[in-house]
Amino acid sequence: MPNSLGDSFVKDGPWKADLFQGKVAFVTGGAGTICRVQTEALVLLGCKAAIVGRNPEKTLEAAREISKLSPRRDSTENDSVGGDSVLAIHSVDVREIGQLEQAVARTVERFGRIDFVIAGAAGNFIAPFSQLSANAFKSVVSIDLLGSFNTAKACLAELKKNKGAILFVSATFHYYGVPFQSHVGAAKAGVDALSNALAVELGVSGIRSNCIAPGVIEGTEGVSRLTGNVSEEQIRSKIPLQRFGTTRDIAETTVYLFSDAAKYVTGTVHIVDGGMWHLGTHF
């Protein structure tokens, strides 16, 4: 499958195979390309995970695929599509906190705890400001920003209990202003601010809060929409490291931020974009 991690992630990578043994992750947007691969990395390293999504088919399929990578995969897959390690929770809209609270309760019922939270659910489209309705702006801000708030809020008791960590999936649009992205830029600026505030406020409870800001990641829906007719060569030439990012690049940073190697790291935005945002480039 494209954009999927293989066994080499553990065999050839820098991480210990049992790094996240006994840990549980709660991931919104886990059926999307980036968050699915973030979840794969955690599961490959021994974590259990609940994937929370709106679309039933996509969420179930992602859970099924990720569970195939699990070192503790149960071959009978008896009581859920994700087998022993991955739980699919679908028909959840992150704009509705009650639905997230139910998803948290199901995760704790199934796996006993939540240690890591990825707030990754996002919605986006290209729209000139002149044609962006107030409702369209509100829809994206509600999914990306309110949805991130709701996710953190619904997981707070578990994060406190387990001295857990939250990772928000942000972007780089708001560092330099990208045309036709006023809605998502505003929302993601809010996500960074939310994460910083939580890092300061919840640090005393042992909770860490960080953001990851992906750049141009190959094979994602967002990038194919944003880049339009611009050639791959033209895009590559605008990236200081001269290549597209990969979902693995995001997964590696995710593992680092949840690992003990980052136990003194909170309130940061980790930009994983090959240095592109320094140029303020857009397509």
Per-position DSSP letters for 44-102, written without gaps between them: HTT-EEEEE-S-HHHHHHHHHHHHTT-TT--TT--SSTTTTTEEEE-S--TT-HHHHHH
Q: Decide: 7 and 17 in contact? Cβ < 8 Å.
A: no
Residue 136 binds ligand HXC, judged by CB under 6 A = yes
Contact criterion met (CB below 8 Å) for 40 and 3: no
10 or 103: CB nearest ligand HXC: 103
Least CB distance to ligand HXC at residue 281 (A):
14
1 by DSSP, 3-state: which?
Answer: coil
Number of residues in contact with ligand HXC, rule: CB under 6 A?
17
Which 8-state DSSP code applies to residue 275? T
Quote the least distance from Cβ 59 to ligand HXC, whole Å: 13
Q: What is the rounded CA–CA span in Å between residue 151 and residue 168?
A: 10
Shortest gap between Cβ of 28 and ligand HXC (angstroms)?
12
In angstroms, the CA 210 to CA 222 distance is: 22
20 by DSSP, 3-state: which?
coil
Which part of the chain contacts ligand HXC (CB under 6 A), choosing from 133-141, 236-244, 245-253, 273-281? Answer: 133-141
Q: Which positions from 58 through 117 interact with ligand HXC, judged by CB under 6 A? A: none
The residues annotated with a catalytic role in the active site are: 170, 188
Q: In terms of residues, how long is the chain?
A: 283
Site map 180..209 versus ligand HXC, x via CB under 6 A: ----x-------------------------
Piece of 107-115, 131-139, 145-153, 275-283 that binds ligand HXC (CB under 6 A): 131-139
Q: Rounded to the nearest whole angstrom, what is the least distance from the CB of residue 250 to ligand HXC in the complex?
A: 12
Rule CB under 6 A: which residues touch ligand HXC?
Answer: 122-125, 127, 133, 135-136, 139-140, 143, 171, 184, 221-222, 225-226
